[in-house]
Structure 1
């Protein structure tokens, strides 16, 4: 598989290491220093693009890949207010887009556990619920995309919560609190905690490094080849 890396920071380099270990080829590496190399001629060398940049550049990067007919796997967060525009363009171009807020296999299993637990806890209103996420100080968006996914899953299962907010916990509020902390060196930890006067129930996912995220992105890239449409990691991992 020939891969174009759009974004060559820490995640891009971690993806490169996993891809090369699996005998794939990196044919293009794009970062801020060589953005002018992101051309139709260069991207045409790739079977798939893996895009991990920032919220301000992700949309244009994805649209450019789709315009040029290259399947794209995006792990950038903070741009989902443009989701409808991007997915409409993907359909218009008969392109391929895989998006996940987190490509780690462990996190996607954690998502499944979170949904199941929320459905159970709906029956026990004496428990309040809150989320906390911890990441390194270079992470620009807060809350994390993963925390937002977890919050939306909780809201889908717990009707006594009507919305989420990145604010300190307010006991028994209809607003689901997400606390964000930025501490080095923290690849990522997510807590979902149910608390009552009697006891607490808490599920936690802690990443030890970026390998899980990078490996999942490479798996998604393999899945994208030969397909058309819009996919997520549930489909990549066969969880649907």
Structure 2
């Protein structure tokens, strides 16, 4: 694939490395010098690419998505903090018969963690004496708080837990830490009267996010529609296991 990197910070450079290892080429870099460009002008720059991967800033997401749609290329949206504009962005993709894949977190491990959390919450919902909690830690430069991953985790777990017979949804408390250079740690706990169940995902570095973003680009390249990265993981989990050659 020919990839347009939208945002060329640490994540953008790491995606460039991972993409090259998988045989793809970076053909466009969109950085601070393009900040003032309208979506129509940016689209002209993007047309030579097969797909755009955006790890820029939340306030630029709508413009970047529109530019990719005008350029006729799908977009992998890795930026967080833009979900107040989700309805507008989804309509934009549909209006251009385009393709977009987004995710609160592009780590394969985190998306498997979501599935484990969903099952754990279903099990623990039968035992109301266990109260759920979420803790998340990230580096001090991360702007959104709580993280998109923690919000997604809270949404998954809270849909399975109810306070009373009227089926009122329980909101799960999220404790946030921003310090140092932590790539990302998320914990889901269920605390009972005499014991605790704890599930944790820890990112050792940012390469897991870059790998997932490139995997998402490979998956979305020839598709149309509005997808979440969890759809990629679901498809992989649903695929039949191929027998090993002997």
Q: 2:219 maps to what in 1?
A: 223
> Aligned partners of 1:119 and 1:93: how far apart in 2?
39
Corresponding residue to 1:194 among 180, 190, 195: 190
> Aligned partners of 2:216 and 2:84: how far apart in 1?
23
Q: 1:176 maps to what in 2?
A: 172
Q: Please give the TM-score of this superposition, normalised by the length of structure 2.
A: 0.89
Specify whether residues 132 and 162 from structure 1 end up closer, same or farther in structure 2 by C-alpha distance, changes over 3 A only: farther
How far did 1:13 drift?
A: 1.0
Q: 1:21 maps to what in 2?
A: 21
How far did 1:91 drift?
A: 0.8
How far did 1:34 drift?
A: 4.0
How many correspondences in the alignment?
230
Q: Please give the TM-score of this superposition, normalised by the length of structure 1.
A: 0.91
How far did 1:22 drift?
A: 1.3
Unaligned 5+ residue runs, structure 2?
239-246
- Counterpart contact for 1:7–1:30, Cα < 8 Å: yes
> Aligned partners of 1:162 and 1:182: how far apart in 2?
32
Query: Which deviations, in whole Å up to 9, do the C-alpha atoms of 1:28-60 show, x marking residues without a partner?
Result: 111113446763332011000001112211222
SS in 2 for 1:119: helix
Query: Which deviations, in whole Å up to 9, do the C-alpha atoms of 1:190-222 show, x marking residues without a partner?
Result: 011110111000100000001111001001001
**Is structure 2 residue 126 aligned with structure 1 residue 130?**
no
Runs of 4+ in 1 over 3 A off after TM superposition: 33-38
> Aligned partners of 2:52 and 2:197: how far apart in 1?
40
Written as runs of structure 1 = structure 2, the 5 A alignment for 1:38-187 is 39-160=42-163, 174-187=170-183
- Counterpart contact for 2:44–2:71, Cα < 8 Å: no
- Counterpart contact for 2:43–2:70, Cα < 8 Å: no
> Aligned partners of 2:36 and 2:45: how far apart in 1?
10
Specify whether residues 96 and 225 from structure 1 end up closer, same or farther in structure 2 by C-alpha distance, changes over 3 A only: same
Q: 2:199 maps to what in 1?
A: 203
> Aligned partners of 1:69 and 1:22: how far apart in 2?
23
> Aligned partners of 1:179 and 1:153: how far apart in 2?
17
> Aligned partners of 1:184 and 1:113: how far apart in 2?
28
Q: 1:168 maps to what in 2?
A: none
> Aligned partners of 1:101 and 1:175: how far apart in 2?
19
- Counterpart contact for 1:52–1:58, Cα < 8 Å: no
